[in-house]
Amino acid sequence: MNIEEVLQNGIKTIDLTNDSQAKLVIETANDLLKEYPKLSDLRNLENDLLEREDKQSTFLKLAVKLACSKNMVSQVKEPLHISVVFAVYKEHQRKGGSILYGMWNLAQKDHSQKHIVVFTDADLSTHLGQLMLLADPIINANKLAAIGSRREKQSVVVKKSARNNRGKLFIYLWKRMIPNLSNIIDTQCGFKAFRADIIPEITLNNVEHKFAFDVELLIKTTLLKENSICKVPIAWIDSDAASTTADLQPYLPMLKSIAKMQVQYFSSEEKHNDFVDFVNSLDEEKFSRLLDNIPQNIVSREPDSFADYAGVSVGDLQESLL
């Protein structure tokens, strides 16, 4: 397989609704497996491709992710069952609750082999051929969960929208309220896997049944066992055509739900959290003003730094509302 030739003739724009492209990326992944049968060789190729910024390389980067996942399948020596859940009907009104029920229902099944439950978004922005990238750390590194991340060095992201300062504000605020997810930034990537045996403990009696349900699952998983969640760099292709939640950014309702989570899971252990009070004091009009006046110290930083950076106080945010 001539990599340079593939790159020169590669697809510049990936369309998730194009069946011929879907078939081609799988064929390319299979060709890569023949050329690079060792996972280490595929990883080296992936690292080389990550240095390239041209659009033609994106298709091949996705194919490499699929090839790595397929290679991991060949290494599985014991029976493994993977279930996949996704919400499809009116996803923007009942997504969290339907996913939680689907996960809980699947966890009731009697599987004699290892069982992993994955949930993903209905638009399939994350190619399901990457499933083993999530399963591998659960099988081989004793993790309770693995989550797809679009913010790692080896992540491949194609996003049509511009840089989102509102998203930065959302991350900064939830980071100030939730203490046990310090190294996790991308809570909203719709590609997560959990060991089936913990699902009854993390899906029942939950605070949130809408968009912030991901955050609660991660909180409860980490409370079961520290450092039990693995972040997995994935290929993620934004798909407006296939999405059922395009342009929906329910940041304020999500933040208010996360504030409830802080009280539910940490109030007895942590000192009083002023950010919870601040979020609870916001209405749509105040939040709109805050979005128009996001402090520069938040805008100028990357979200990856928000685990350690707390330089913008509640007082600073209140001044932004004046």
User: Which segment of 6-10, 35-39, 317-321 scores lowest on mean pLDDT?
Assistant: 6-10
Question: What are residue 194's phi and psi, to 5 degrees?
Answer: -135, 145
DSSP state of 191: E
Question: What are residue 93's phi and psi, to 5 degrees?
Answer: -105, -30
* pLDDT per position as a tens digit, 152-164: 999 999 876 555 8
Single-letter amino acid code for the residue at 291: L
| pLDDT over 80 (residue 271) | no
Beta carbons of 112 and 225 less than 8 angstroms apart: no
| pLDDT over 50 (residue 246) | no
How many Å apart are CA 206 and CA 210, to the nearest integer?
11
Q: Confidence class of residue 12 from pLDDT cuts 50, 70 and 90?
A: confident
* pLDDT per position as a tens digit, 172-210: 999 999 989 989 999 989 899 999 999 999 999 999 999
| pLDDT over 70 (residue 306) | yes
pLDDT at 14: 82
* pLDDT per position as a tens digit, 100-148: 999 999 998 876 679 999 999 887 789 999 999 999 999 999 999 999 9
Residue 124 or 51, more confident: 51
User: Which segment of 16-30, 244-258, 302-316 scores lowest on mean pLDDT?
Assistant: 244-258
CA dihedral of residues 235, 240, 241, 247 (deg, nearest 10): 150
| pLDDT over 70 (residue 243) | no
| pLDDT over 90 (residue 244) | no
Question: What are residue 154's phi and psi, to 5 degrees?
Answer: -95, 10
| pLDDT over 60 (residue 92) | no
Beta carbons of 261 and 215 less than 8 angstroms apart: yes
* pLDDT per position as a tens digit, 274-304: 999 999 999 999 999 999 999 999 999 999 9
List of domains in the chain: 3-74 (no CATH), 80-320 (3.90.550)
Mean pLDDT for the stretch of residues 252-273: 87
* pLDDT per position as a tens digit, 55-88: 888 999 999 999 999 999 999 999 999 999 987 7
- In the chain, where does DSSP find H-type helix? 3-8, 19-35, 39-50, 56-74, 91-107, 131-140, 165-177, 199-203, 213-224, 251-266, 274-281, 284-292, 296-299, 314-320
